[in-house]
């Protein structure tokens, strides 16, 4: 590992993506474990440089990541019922509009 671990891509990937720590918590971890004082903005710059924001940033698509939790059978049943109800309601609305 490098002398300054927060500049290492593997270290940031482990902390930010795998452990899902936020930048402030990573700063605290660096201070406690390595006695390195770093601002969250500096970490953000490194995370952005290594293009790790796509894993945790806005608009990320969780369907394509391994972090997605499987749905329970009950949850799938409820979602199926909701889809059916929406479909029935939209069919009723379409039927009223055509009359």
Tokens encoding 60: 């990320």
Q: If we measure between CA atoms, which residue out of 53, 34, 36, 54 comes closest to residue 44?
A: 53
CB atoms within 10 A of CB 43: 21
The Cα–Cα gap between 99 and 35 comes to 74
Buried b (16+ CB within 10 A) or exposed e, 16-30: bbeeebebeebbebb
The model's pLDDT over 36-69, given as tens digits with 9 standing for 90+, comes to 999 999 999 999 999 998 887 654 454 555 556 7
Mean pLDDT of the chain: 84
pTM for this model (two decimals): 0.55
* Cβ atoms of residues 17 and 52 within 8 Å: yes
């Amino acid at each position: 590992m490098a002398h300054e671990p927060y500049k290492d891509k593997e270290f940031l990937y482990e902390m930010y993506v795998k452990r899902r720590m936020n930048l402030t918590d990573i700063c605290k971890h660096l201070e406690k474990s390595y006695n390195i004082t770093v601002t969250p903005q500096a970490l953000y710059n490194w995370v952005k440089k290594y293009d790790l924001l796509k894993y945790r940033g806005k608009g990320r698509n969780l369907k394509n990541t391994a972090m997605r939790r499987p749905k329970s059978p009950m949850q799938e049943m409820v979602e199926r019922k909701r889809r059916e109800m929406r479909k029935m309601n939209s069919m009723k609305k379409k039927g009223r509009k055509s009359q």
